[in-house]
Chain A
Amino acid sequence: MPIPASILTLAAGILLALISLWVGQTINVMPVAAADDANTVDALFKVLFSIGVGLLLGMTAMVVVALIHFRRRPGDHLDGPAVEGNLPLEIFWTAVPAIVILIVGVYSYDIYARMGGMADFNHHTTMSPSEVEQISLGNPPDPETVIWGGIDHSKGMAFPVEVTAMQFAFIFHYPQQNFTTAELHLPEGQPVELRLKSNDVIHAFWVPEFRLKQDVIPGQPTLLSFTANRQGSYDIICAELCGPYHGAMRSKVVVEDPQNFEEWLRRHTPATVATAPRSFQAG
C-alpha cells in the first residue's frame, strides 16, 4: 500500500518549516549591529527572512514538481482535468497570508514605536505662520522647537549633535562645546540626538551598523536619536542621489567609550566657548 499523500504533504511541510527557520536564524546577511535598536530590527529581519525562505522554497518546489511530474509525455494529446476552481481552497490561501501579514505588520510597528518612530514633533501644521516663514527661508529659529520628523525616544535627555549635509559632505557641530568637525564622535551607551539639516539638496544620513537612515531635506530639520552600543569606526553614507559626487559623500562615525569621548570633546573644545562664533553656520 502506498504512503497516503496527506502524510507525505505533512512531512514536506514540516521539513520546509524547519529548513526556513534554520536558514532565517543561522544565515547572517546583516552587518554588525552597533546601536541599541539595531538588534530588534535584525530580529524582525530574521522573522521576515524565515517566512520568505519558506514561501519561496515552497512555491519553487511546487513549480518544479509540476514541471517534472505533470510534463506532457510524447504522444499524449489529452487535456488535463477540467478543474475550474475550489472556493474553500481560495478562502484558505486568502486568509492565511492576510493573517500572517497583519501579525508581521503589528510586530514591525511595535518595533518602530520602540525605536522612537512615533515621536510627536509638534508637527509643522501647528507652527505659527512666522515660524513657517522662517523655516522656508532656511533659517530655523531653534531646532528644538521646530522639527519636521525623524526618530526620537530620548525625550530631550540625549547628547545633541548638529549635522549639516551639503554637496558633498557632512559637517558635525557640537552645540554644547561649540566646535565643528568632519568626523562624528559619539559616546558608547549614551543616548545621542542628531539634529539634521541640509544646505542645498536632499541627502540622507545612513549608518548601516546602526540600521538607521534619515533623509535630510532642505527647509525641514529632522531629529535622529539613538544609542550606539559598540565601539568602533563606521561609515556614514549619503543614501539619496545628491549630484555627481553622491557616491563619494561619506564620512566616519567613531563610537568610543565615554571616558575617551570626554577626552576627545575636551581636546576639541575651543578655550573661549562663550565668545566663539557659531562656526557651523559658516560651514
Chain B
Amino acid sequence: MTVHVLPTSENHQEVRHHTPWQEYFGFSLDHKVIGIQYLVTGFFFYLVGGALAGMIRVELITPMSDFMTRDTYNQVLTMHGTIMIFLWIVPVVNGAFGNYLVPFYVGARDMAFPRLNAVAFWMIPPAGLLLVSSYFIGGAAQSGWTAYPPLSITTPAVGQIIWILSVLLLGGSSIFGAVNFIATILKLRQPGLGLFQLPMFCWALLGTSILVVLATPVLAGALILLSMDIVAGTGFFNPALGGNAVVYQHLFWFYSHPAVYIMVLPAFGLVSEILPIHARKPLFGYRSMIYSILGIVFLGLIVWAHHMFTSGTPPWMRLFFTIATAIIAVPTGIKFFNWLATLWQGKLALNSALLFCCGFIFNFVFGGITGVALAQVPFDVHVHDTYFVVAHFHYIVFGGTVFVIFAAIYHWFPKLSGRLLNEHLGRLHCLLSFLGFNICFFPQHWLGLNGMPRRVAEYDPQFQLINQISSVGALVLAISTLPFLINVFWSLWKGQPAGDNPWKACTGEWLTSSPPPVENWLHEAPLVTEPYDYGSTEGTMAVTAMGGRDLWSAGD
C-alpha cells in the first residue's frame, strides 16, 4: 500500500477557515453548510412531529375521544405522518448526510450544482411553515398522510390544498437534491476513482436518487389532479363525478412505497460506513451490497399495490405484488447478513454510534419479518389498516432509519463540530431510545391482530391497558431526547476536541481538519480507492501504528 504523508492541518492553523455563524442562516453554497442546515431544520421538525405523536399517545390513554376534538385528532395524525416523512426523515438521510458526505466520498470540493442545492434546501423551511401554519388558518388537512379521495375531497378544502402545496414543494426539493446527487456521484468523481471503489453510502444515494427521480413526479401529478378535484370541481378521483378513487391509490403508492426505500436505503448506506470503522474490519461483501441496493431499487418500484390488497385490485395483481414484495426480503436480508459478518470477529468499540446501529439491526429485522408477513394476502386482509401495520412501519422508519440518524450524528458530530459527543450520555440516549421504542411499538402488533384499527381516537375498552403501556413507551422515547439535546449543546461548548480523525477512518471526510475548510481539503483531494481498508493482514501495519489520516492510498 502506498501511503502519502500529508502535511497535518495543525501547520495550517492560520488558514483554517471557520464558517461564520450567519452563513448557516443564509443562502450558502457550501455543501457542508447546506448539510447542517438540512440536519438542524429536520431535527426541529422531528421535535414538532414528536410532539404531535405525543398528543396521539395522550389521546389513546383512554378509550374515549376526550383529549382533543375528533377533527383535531385527524389533523394531528395527518400532520404527524407528513412532517415525520417529508420534513424529517427524507431531508435528513438524503439532504443532510448526503450533502455533507458525498463530495468528500467522490473527492470533490462541492456538489455538482451548488446553487440548485441551496434552492433545494430553501424550499423546505417555507414548505414546513406553510404546513404547520395551516393548522392556524382554518385547520390542517385531516385525511391522513395518504389523502385518499373522496375523503380528501370532502374534508375542509383550505387545509387540504395547503397540504398539497407543501408536499409539492417538498417533493420538488427532493427531486432537485436527487438530480444533484446523481450528477455528483457520476460526474464529479476524482480521476482514477471507479464506481466500484466508492463508499457504500454513494451507491445507496445513487439508488435512492434514481427512485426519487422516477417516482416523485408521479406523486406530484396525482396531487395536482387531486387539488383540481378539490378546487376546480373536476372528477378525476371523485366517484360522484365519474372518477375512480382507486386510481389515486395506485398513483399515490407508486411514489409512496418507493418512499420507504428513499428513507431506508440512505440509512443502509450510513450503517455500511459506520460499522466497519467501529468494528475495525472491512465491509463484508462489498459487491453483493451494491447489487442488493440495485435489486431493492428495482423491486421497490414494482410492489406498490401491496398497500391495496383489500381495495379493488384484480386477483392477478395480488399474486404478482405478493411475490414481488416478499422477494425484497432477499436483497435486504443479504445486507443484514453482511453487516453481521462485518461485526463478527471484529474489534467492536461499544460506543453510541455502534450501539445505535445494533439497535437498528434488531428493529429493522423485526420490521422486515412483519413486512414479509404483511405481503401475504390472506394475512394482510386481516391486519391491513390496523395497529399491526402501524407497528410494522414504525419498526422500519423509526426503529430503522431514525436509529441510524442518531448513530450517524454520534459518528459524524466530531467532524461537523470538531468536538466529540459525551459517550455516557450517548449510551444512555441509546438505551432509553431502544427501550422506549420497543415498549411503545411492540404491543401495537397485538392490538392490530386483535381488532384495533389505525387512525382512531376511540377504541374498544379491552385494549386500554395495552394502549397505556404503549403510551408509557412513547413517554420514555420523548425523555430519551433530553440526554441527546444536553449532550449536543454541552459538547458543542465544552466537548473533548476530536482531532482530524478520532475513529481512525479511511474515507475522505476524515482526511482533513474537523470541521473541514470550505473547500474540504487544504491540500489536494485524497484519492481513496479502498474505503474499507481496515483489518490486519500479514505485511500490513496495524492502523493505529501509523495514524488513520495517512491511510489513504494515492492510486495503486
Chain A interface (Cβ < 8 Å from any Cβ of B): 29-31, 37, 40-41, 44-45, 48, 51-52, 55-56, 59-60, 62-63, 66-67, 70-72, 76-86, 89-90, 93-94, 97-98, 101-102, 104-105, 108-109, 111-112, 115, 117-120, 123, 133, 136-138, 148-149, 151, 200-202, 204, 206, 208, 211-215, 217-220, 222, 235, 237-248
Q: Mark B119-148, 1 if CB is under 8 A from A, else 0.
A: 000000000000000000000001110001
The listed residue with most A CB atoms (<10 A of its CB), out of B314, B327, B532, is: B314
> Is the pair A239, B385 in contact by a Cβ cutoff of 8 Å?
yes
| A-B residue pairs, 6 tightest by C-beta | A82-B535, A219-B239, A247-B456, A244-B70, A108-B376, A208-B451
> Is the pair A52, B370 in contact by a Cβ cutoff of 8 Å?
yes
Shortest distance between the CB of B62 and any CB in chain A (Å):
12
> Is the pair B379, A108 in contact by a Cβ cutoff of 8 Å?
yes
> Is the pair A79, B280 in contact by a Cβ cutoff of 8 Å?
yes
Given contacts A201-B150, A206-B385, 5 further A-B contacts (CB under 8 A): A70-B343, A71-B350, A72-B350, A81-B537, A85-B287
Q: CA separation between A203 and B407, bound complex, in Å?
A: 41
Shortest distance between the CB of A35 and any CB in chain B (Å):
11
> Is the pair B334, A90 in contact by a Cβ cutoff of 8 Å?
yes
| Contact count A vs B, C-beta below 8 Å | 298
Interface residue ranges of B319-336 to A (CB < 8 Å): 319, 322-323, 326-327, 329-330, 333-334, 336
Q: CA separation between A76 and B298, bound complex, in Å?
A: 43
| Contact partners of A85 in chain B: CB under 8 A | 284-288
Q: CA separation between A41 and B263, bound complex, in Å?
A: 32
Enumerate 9 A-B pairs (CB-CB under 8 Å) in ascending A order. Answer: A41-B378, A60-B365, A62-B343, A85-B286, A108-B378, A211-B381, A220-B312, A239-B385, A248-B458
> Is the pair B377, A112 in contact by a Cβ cutoff of 8 Å?
yes
Known A79-B347, A112-B318: A41·B379 in contact at CB below 8 Å: yes
Name which residue of chain A comes closest to B450, CB basis.
A31
Contacting residue for B382 out of A94, A104, A133, A213, CB 8 A:
A213
> Is the pair A56, B365 in contact by a Cβ cutoff of 8 Å?
yes
Interface residue ranges of B349-371 to A (CB < 8 Å): 349-350, 358, 361-362, 365-366, 369-370
B542 interfacial contact with A, CB 8 Å: yes
Main SS of the interface on chain A? mixed
Chain B interface (Cβ < 8 Å from any Cβ of A): 65, 69-71, 73-74, 142-144, 148, 150-151, 154-155, 239-246, 279-288, 310-315, 318-319, 322-323, 326-327, 329-330, 333-334, 336-338, 340-341, 343-350, 358, 361-362, 365-366, 369-370, 372-373, 375-379, 381-382, 384-386, 445-446, 449-451, 453-460, 532, 534-537, 540, 542-544
Shortest distance between the CB of B251 and any CB in chain A (Å):
15
> Is the pair B154, A235 in contact by a Cβ cutoff of 8 Å?
no
> Is the pair A31, B341 in contact by a Cβ cutoff of 8 Å?
no
> Is the pair B284, A83 in contact by a Cβ cutoff of 8 Å?
yes
Contacting residue for A67 out of B73, B154, B336, B350, CB 8 A:
B350
Q: CA separation between A77 and B460, bound complex, in Å?
A: 57
> Is the pair B245, A219 in contact by a Cβ cutoff of 8 Å?
yes
| Contact partners of A212 in chain B: CB under 8 A | 381-382
> Is the pair B455, A218 in contact by a Cβ cutoff of 8 Å?
no
| Contact partners of B534 in chain A: CB under 8 A | 79-80, 82
| Contact partners of A62 in chain B: CB under 8 A | 340, 343-344
Q: CA separation between A97 and B372, bound complex, in Å?
A: 11
Contacting residue for A84 out of B286, B336, B455, B536, CB 8 A:
B286
Shortest distance between the CB of B451 and any CB in chain A (Å):
4
Known A56-B369, A112-B378, A215-B310: A244·B71 in contact at CB below 8 Å: yes
